């Protein structure tokens, strides 16, 4: 069973236990604008600002959950429909993952399901750096996902390698760190003491590459609900 299917199985069990599956509750998911998603952060090279990703937002019983995706789509239906929808594309997975976040938020089973805004990414990056120093020491960090504020906060303080799938980022340097492509993933995992992984890997179905080989710390709102369901370690201090 894939990682995503394991998350689905646990989510459905929780939703059925809570008696939600047959309730006529509508879930909507729609892409947010850049300003709605992250406000006006420092810098202009976040993936969402460059149009590489969009933030999907699901609403369930007044609670919101989000997921980053490179495939924009909108969805409206019952929770039971989302629970059993196909998960073949990044857009489908983003709808499902955002829904998991919203429903778990509504049940007080997850927190930090809404992305930080404005100065939040810079503050988040600083706090993640402090968290890593306090809990892991001076480890070699293999980072999955292009998050410029986080790269800036970690470079110069930790041995750091970064892997990303966007061809426009690969080979570029950010804060003195070369952004490596997907073909370097195995090398980075072997090299690192700790994997710092974006939760977007759940929505794009690459998460299995990083689990079970090295200690993993997830960051970001996308994986908020799944991290609670699967007991994965996540640190996302400025999300709400």
Q: What is the pLDDT of residues 60-72, one digit of tens each?
A: 999 999 998 888 7
Q: Do 7 and 99 share a domain, yes or no?
A: yes
What is the average pLDDT across 15-26? 81
pTM (global) more than 0.85: yes
47, pLDDT greater than 50: no
Q: Domain check: are 138 and 167 in the same one?
A: yes
Q: 96 with 133, same domain?
A: no
Domain of 142 in residue numbering reads as 120-220
175 with 100, same domain? no
- Whether 234 is covered by a domain: the verdict is no
At 121-141, the pLDDT tens digits run: 788 888 999 999 999 999 999
Indicate whether 97 and 132 sit together in one domain. no
Could you tell me if 141 and 212 lie in one domain? Answer: yes
Q: What is the mean pLDDT of the chain?
A: 87
Is the Cβ–Cβ distance between 87 and 93 less than 8 Å?
yes
216 and 127 assigned to the same domain: yes
43 and 76 belong to one structural domain: yes
Look at the chain and report how many structural domains it folds into: 2
Q: Are 47 and 21 members of one domain?
A: yes
Q: Both 27 and 102 in a single domain? A: yes
Residue 13 has what pLDDT? 97
Domain of 212, CATH number, reads 3.40.50.11590
Instruction: Answer whether residue 80 is part of any domain.
Output: yes
**Segment 156-185, tens digit of pLDDT:** 899 999 999 888 899 999 999 999 999 999
Per-position DSSP letters for 47-116, written without gaps between them: TTTTTS-EEEEEEETTEEEEEEESS---EEEEHHHHHT----SHHHHHHHHHHHHHHHHHTTS----S--
């Amino acid at each position: 069973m894939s990682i995503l299917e394991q998350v689905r199985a646990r989510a459905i069990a929780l939703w059925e236990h809570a008696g939600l599956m047959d309730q006529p509750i509508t879930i909507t998911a729609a892409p947010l604008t850049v300003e709605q998603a992250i406000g006006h952060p420092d810098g202009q090279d976040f993936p969402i600002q460059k149009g590489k990703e969009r933030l999907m937002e699901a609403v369930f019983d007044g609670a919101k959950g989000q997921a980053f995706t490179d495939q924009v789509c909108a969805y409206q239906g019952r929770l039971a429909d989302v629970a059993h929808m196909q998960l073949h594309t990044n857009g489908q997975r983003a709808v499902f993952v955002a829904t998991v976040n919203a429903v778990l938020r509504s049940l007080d089973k997850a927190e930090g399901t809404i992305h930080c805004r404005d100065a939040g990414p810079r503050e988040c990056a600083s706090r993640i750096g402090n968290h890593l120093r306090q809990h892991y020491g001076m480890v070699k960090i293999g980072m999955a996902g292009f998050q410029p504020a986080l790269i800036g906060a970690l470079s110069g303080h930790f041995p750091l390698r970064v892997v990303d799938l966007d061809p426009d980022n690969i080979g570029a340097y950010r804060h003195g760190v070369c952004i490596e492509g997907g073909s370097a993933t195995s090398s980075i995992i072997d090299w690192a003491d700790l994997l710092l992984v974006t939760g977007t890997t759940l929505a794009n179905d690459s998460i299995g590459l990083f689990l079970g080989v090295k200690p993993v710390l997830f960051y970001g709102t996308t994986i908020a609900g799944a991290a609670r369901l699967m007991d994965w370690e996540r640190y996302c201090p400025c999300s709400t």
